Amino acid sequence: MNSSQGATSRREFIKTSGKSAAFSALANVAIPPVHAAGSDLIQVALVGCGGRGGGAAANALSVKRGPIKLVAMADLFPERLASDLNKLQQRFPSQVDVPPDRQFLGFDAYQKAMDCLKPGDVIIFATPPAFRWVHFTYAIQKGLNVFMEKPLTCDGPTSKRMFALAQDAAAKNLKVGVGLMSRHSRALQELADRVHNGEIGEIILQRGYRMHGPGGYFLSLPKPADITDLLYQVKRFHSFIWASGGCYNDFYIHLIDHLGWMKNEWPIKAQALGGRHYKVSPEGIAYVDQNFDVYSVEYTYSDGTKFFFDGRCMKGCEEIYTSCLQGTKGMGIASKSGDCGLPSSLYKSQTATAANLIWESKVSPDEKDPYQNEWNDLIDAIRDNKPYNEVKRGVEASLVSSMGRMAANTGREITFDEMLQCEHDMAPDIEKFTMDSAAPLLADASGRYPVPQPGIITTREY
């Protein structure tokens, strides 16, 4: 099979995957009202507080088009719920109505929060992505519009489930936004149009870099005695591949997503390097997370074009956080700094100098924030009843991220299809978790969890 045939078959598989899956049983149910109970008020509930959860809720309440209220919140950790609630109440006192009887804790809290909403309202999912398919299934049953943070999946089995659920949501006319905010950057939207129209010719190379010190829950020390393994792993989700895809998926997906967008396809395979260098704390205690400190991934597109991605979480090293693309007639900078930092620009040669500049993005002040743009776009779709479903693309971006991670973790070349078909379900029975459940990962006697061993463990990641 030649490369173009491979790309076509891969696209066809994604288009049709899961059509007969059990998760598609909801496809023929009735379409809900455009928004909550046919009224102007859109009610919102938040599942997963802290970090992006509070940020997403704030973006929802900042939408200017029509009344929006936050009416319920759910989390596993009471301190995170209380912290987000306090911040949101101070900032949006007239739009936050979350009394104690609509504050829910526990693994079933997501159901209780969604039970407070009516069909056509909006539920926010900002939990670790391992739970995304479980929560999304219930949202579809309830007829709720959804905003879900990235990544959407960490492995092959959950990706297949999410592809099927995307079809179910579309069949019910539900609007679903995914937190890949680069797609809502007005600068990157114009850049994509210009690149796809051939302003720098055919893309022949892409590069992405996210290299800085440790962030988030990248590093974790052995579990304290006052918390269970399961809650520890959920709380420090960046440290554990089953929960988040590790730092690779959570930190790097934005650059991977928008460079795939510029190429207008997804890479078909990846080969990679990765390593653990400094895994001992200043106090001499070994870190127990599953992350590599460095990743260097070579992605390949169906036409042979390469996309090189470098990730590093190490103190004291050169910090680079940008993305760029080379074409046959020039080059472009997608993100100048960060995940989608302004301005985006195009140049008539392969060097980004002022003399070679042919275009630089200009964005109006009220549309500079892509996090706000994605919420404005979602609410517009809900109020205008326009088709809006970003799940399929979100799963594909998650799969490409997982493909690069698995290539590094196994020391093998991994294709897109191999990642999708990999049978390693990293969190089996996650839909049945309770506060007393065993964790998907078990520590050894020294408190260390399994880590990738490239070249030794090659059919799964740990």
* Phi, psi at 340, each rounded to 5°: -155, 60
Cα–Cα dist 57/404, whole Å: 31
3-state secondary structure 132-192: HHHHHHHHHHHCCEEEECCCCCCCHHHHHHHHHHHHHHHHCCCCEEECCHHHHCHHHHHHH
pLDDT (0 to 100) of residue 278: 85
30 bridge partner residues: none
pLDDT (0 to 100) of residue 37: 45
**pLDDT tens figures, 317-335:** 999 999 999 999 999 999 9
| Domains delineated in the chain | 10-182+371-389 (3.40.50.720), 183-367+400-425 (3.30.360.10)
pLDDT (0 to 100) of residue 419: 98
Per-residue pLDDT of the chain in tens (462 residues, 90 and over written 9): 444 444 434 444 444 444 334 444 444 444 444 454 457 999 999 999 988 999 999 999 999 999 999 999 999 999 999 999 999 999 999 999 999 999 999 999 999 999 999 999 999 999 999 999 999 999 999 999 999 999 999 999 999 999 999 999 999 999 999 999 999 999 999 999 999 999 999 999 999 999 999 999 999 999 999 999 999 999 999 999 999 999 999 999 999 999 999 999 999 999 999 999 988 998 999 999 999 999 999 999 999 999 999 999 999 999 999 999 999 999 999 999 999 999 999 999 999 999 999 999 999 999 999 999 999 999 999 999 999 999 999 999 999 999 999 999 999 999 999 999 999 999 999 999 999 999 999 999 888 999 999 999 999 999
pLDDT (0 to 100) of residue 51: 85
Give whole-number Cα distances, 219 to 164, 237, 313, 452, in Å. Answer: 34, 10, 10, 15
pLDDT (0 to 100) of residue 35: 58
